């Protein structure tokens, strides 16, 4: 940021304080104080210092938001698709206008390096809105099958529960297609990363969305998330979070038999075939595992490599780590900032100790903060080799900068290792023989498989097998999660 811009730039936190929105919920088109008295600290991940206190919503706020969404649903669901697309276009444009605000908010609330916030978090989040708008413009809500009309209709009021690790990205991945489908929404963002969600509510307000179509209630999972999931006037709940959180939401939703879409945990494999271009396969594999400081549900944190190539893989992995710059997330040169919160820092330390206790070979990193850091939630980028599938670090999601390297003797064994997990969210396969890589991809049980590090595709459906969840986000399939199918027999008679 230039010195001239720095002198005039007002931080998102200060903006929200000044306009009073930091202490407000957004319900029925109005900024309103929460009904409860509970507050949580907003903690700076770089220092551990409290920056502000966030008021949280309660059961009464949930009720007000759900009823506002219910009232708005009748008109919004009947709005012509081209009008809904126009609203999404305005939200997309306004978000891009405030891209720097969003980037600064992400760095403040969850420690994303500012360069990564600017180049990944914010633009990829905006893409979900563009894709939702574009898919809506060409979508057929009524098709013919013989004499029967197949009609797709908005499912209703949707509760959207989003996480702290990709805050705005996951908000737009849910809000965009839900609004495109004609649903009204109540968003419960993580109380640990509220700033970007509040900025998004400001963007929605500025876009002129009708009151009640979008509502935001900050709060905890037990007080707000589970109440939304259990509410009889909520027709669907979509959650991105841990598998444990997904189970709790599904249990709360079960008595009302509502649809539950879950994007949950992962322990994604990165299977390096014997013919892979090894320098590229390993360096990009380390980068992918450690993107967002390893706090990504689909991060490929198990690198599965030919045993004969293990010494070369270890050398290349160490070289990849040396290129990383762990530091102040507001510095342009920083590639990796702190973990997002204390609980995650402590989780990562526990898992690194488990790797040591299980006898894995510690190549680099380890316990504690990097040299020179005495505060904040900074962790040491860590690589273990000689990892077996029965070790804790190979089985449990760590959600931090920890990579496990596992060796195999045959491709069949490698596929078995890749599938030896309760998760099935993402996977990677590296190999120069594309037919062979495709054959391996076909045998991996996960919702997405990436061959040779392709470009991100916002139209590619994303979701999990097994305990990684159910349902799909992104692309047309992401919008169809928010639609019911009605058959009208004799329509074309």
Give the tens place of pLDDT for each residue, 465-493: 999 999 999 999 999 999 999 999 999 98
Report helix, strand and coil shares of the chain as percent, to nearest 5.
45, 20, 35
Average pLDDT over residues 351-357: 98
* pLDDT attached to residue 6: 52
**CATH 3.40.309.10 applies to domain 269-458:** yes
Q: How confident is the model at residue 403 (pLDDT cuts 50, 70, 90)?
A: very high
Choosing from 297, 397, 473, 480, the catalytic residue is 297
- Is the torsion defined by CA of 391, 392, 398, 401 positive or negative? negative
Average pLDDT over residues 176-189: 98
Choosing from 109, 191, 226, 263, the catalytic residue is 263
Q: How confident is the model at residue 3 (pLDDT cuts 50, 70, 90)?
A: very low
Architecture of domain 3-264+470-487: 3-Layer(aba) Sandwich (3.40)
In tens, the pLDDT along 245-264 reads 999 999 999 999 999 999 99
Residue 404, pLDDT > 90, answer yes
* pLDDT attached to residue 4: 45
Q: Which helix (H) or strand (E) holds 403?
A: strand 402-408
In tens, the pLDDT along 364-391 reads 999 999 999 999 999 999 999 999 999 9
Could you count the other beta carbons within 10 Å of the beta carbon of residue 36? 16
In tens, the pLDDT along 412-463 reads 999 999 999 999 999 999 999 999 999 999 999 999 999 999 999 999 999 9
Distance CA 249, CA 257 (A): 12
Average pLDDT over residues 64-71: 98
| CB contact at 8 A, 385 and 406 | no
Indicate the pTM of the whole model.
0.96
Q: What is the dihedral of CA 200, 74, 229, 21, to 10 degrees?
A: 30
* pLDDT attached to residue 382: 98
Residue 1, pLDDT > 70, answer no
Q: Please say if 297 is a catalytic residue.
A: yes
Residue 269, pLDDT > 90, answer yes
Q: Please say if 183 is a catalytic residue.
A: no
In tens, the pLDDT along 288-336 reads 999 999 999 999 999 999 999 999 999 999 999 999 999 999 999 999 9
User: What's the mean pLDDT when you consider all of the chain?
Assistant: 97
Question: Which stretch of 5-19, 126-140, 233-247 has the lowest confidence by average pLDDT?
Answer: 5-19
Domain segments of the chain: what residues? 3-264+470-487, 269-458
Select from 336, 310, 284 the least CA-distant residue to 45. 336
Token digits of residue 382: 């860590």
């Amino acid at each position: 940021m230039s010195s001239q811009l720095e002198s005039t730039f007002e931080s998102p936190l200060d903006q929200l304080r000044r306009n009073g929105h930091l202490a407000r919920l957004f319900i029925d088109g109005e900024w309103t104080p929460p009904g409860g008295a509970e507050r949580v600290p907003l903690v700076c991940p770089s220092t551990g210092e409290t920056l502000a206190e966030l008021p949280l919503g309660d059961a009464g706020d949930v009720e007000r938001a759900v009823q506002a969404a219910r009232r708005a649903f009748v008109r919004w669901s009947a709005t012509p698709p081209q009008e809904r697309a126009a609203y999404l276009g305005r939200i997309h444009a306004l978000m891009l206008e405030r891209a720097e605000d969003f980037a600064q908010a992400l760095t403040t609330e969850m420690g994303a390096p500012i360069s990564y916030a600017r180049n990944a978090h914010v633009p990829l989040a905006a893409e979900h809105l563009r894709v939702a708008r574009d898919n809506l413009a060409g979508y057929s809500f009524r098709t013919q099958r013989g004499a029967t009309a197949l009609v797709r209709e908005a499912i209703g009021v949707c509760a959207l529960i989003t996480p702290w690790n990709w805050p705005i990205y996951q908000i737009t991945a849910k809000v965009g297609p839900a609004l495109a489908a004609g649903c009204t929404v109540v968003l419960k963002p993580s109380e640990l990363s509220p700033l970007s969600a509040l900025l998004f509510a400001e963007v929605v307000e500025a876009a002129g969305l009708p009151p009640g179509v979008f509502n935001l209630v900050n709060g905890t999972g037990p007080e707000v998330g589970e109440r939304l999931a259990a509410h009889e006037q909520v027709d669907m709940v979509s959650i991105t979070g841990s598998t444990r959180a997904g189970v709790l939401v599904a249990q709360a939703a079960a008595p009302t038999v509502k649809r539950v879409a879950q994007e949950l945990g992962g322990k994604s494999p990165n299977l390096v075939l014997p013919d892979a271009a090894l320098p590229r396969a390993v360096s990009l594999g380390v980068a992918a595992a450690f993107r967002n400081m390893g706090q990504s549900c689909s991060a490929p944190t198990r690198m599965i490599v030919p045993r004969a190539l293990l010494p070369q893989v270890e050398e290349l992995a160490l070289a990849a780590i040396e290129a990383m710059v762990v530091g102040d997330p507001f510095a342009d040169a920083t590639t990796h900032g702190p973990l997002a919160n204390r609980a995650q820092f402590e989780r990562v330390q526990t898992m690194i100790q488990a790797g040591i206790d299980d006898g894995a070979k510690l190549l680099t990193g380890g316990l504690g903060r990097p040299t020179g850091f005495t505060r904040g939630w900074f962790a040491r980028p860590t690589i273990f080799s000689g990892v077996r599938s029965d070790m804790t670090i190979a089985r449990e999601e760590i959600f931090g900068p920890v990579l496990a390297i596992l060796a195999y003797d045959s491709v069949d064994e490698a596929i078995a290792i890749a599938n030896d997990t309760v998760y099935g969210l993402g996977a990677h396969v590296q190999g120069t023989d594309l037919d062979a890589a495709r054959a391996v991809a076909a045998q991996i049980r996960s919702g997405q498989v990436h061959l040779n590090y392709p470009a991100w595709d916002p139209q590619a459906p994303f979701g999990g097998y097994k305990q990684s969840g159910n349902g799909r986000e992104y692309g047309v399939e992401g919008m169809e999660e928010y639609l019911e199918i009605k058959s009208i027999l004799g329509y074309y008679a």
